[in-house]
Amino acid sequence: MTSITALDRSPVDTDRVEYLYRELLIALGENPDREGLADTPRRAAAWWAEFLNRDPGSLGTAFTHDSTNDGFVMLRGIDVWSLCEHHLLPFRLTVSIAYIPGPQILGLSKLVRQLELHAHTLQVQERITTDVAHDLAKAAGTDDIAVFAEGEHLCMSMRGVKAPAVRTLTSCRLGRTASDPELAARIERLALAPAH
């Protein structure tokens, strides 16, 4: 699976998207000039540009770390939206990211920014989970990274099988978060524990 981020694509052509939404409304049997729809193509084009042209900000802030502590850092409950590349419908992820600091630690916001970089494009949950883990490993200078994602996919909730209660779980564990069974179990227990 090839890595895909918001930085890998051209900016949204809002004029063309607006035109295509107007054409879509006509194809759906609607009157794009009626009250309520007259400005819909422009608003829809603006939304696509806002979502897909999002700048994640600085991704690489790291700080020197000299601790020999064997603990880990975990962010839980990170919510992010993405778009299913198969149906162009949204999906929402709740993500936990854990890593064991090596010679440097990452600014906490960088973990979230890396996730947003991968989410703000046409995606699949599996790719987001794996790519975020690998990119954070590079940024942190350690392979000891674990990413867990729980997703609700509107392409399953509102179409097809119409199963709104179904959640998709994915994980990517690298380094000791995969090879050390005790550590892996501790991280997984915390990552997947219900929020209080």
- pLDDT tier at 196, thresholds 50, 70, 90: low
- Structure token digits, residue 69: 């502590």
Rounded to the nearest 5°, which phi and psi values hold at 83?
A: -125, 125
pTM of the model: 0.88
Answer for the pair 82, 123: CB distance below 8 angstroms, yes or no. Answer: yes
Within this chain, do residues 33 and 92 fall inside the same structural domain, yes or no?
no
CATH code, domain with 33: 1.10.286.10
117-176 pLDDT, tens per residue?
A: 999 999 999 999 999 999 999 998 899 999 999 999 999 888 888 888 899 999 999 999
What domain range is 124 assigned to?
A: 62-192
Planar angle of CA 82, 85, 86, nearest 5 degrees:
130
How far, in Å, CA of 53 to CA of 179, rounded?
A: 38
How far, in Å, CA of 60 to CA of 170, rounded?
A: 25
Within this chain, do residues 79 and 110 fall inside the same structural domain, yes or no?
yes
Alpha helix (H) residue ranges in 10-165: 14-27, 40-52, 108-119, 125-140, 154-157
In a domain? residue 69? yes
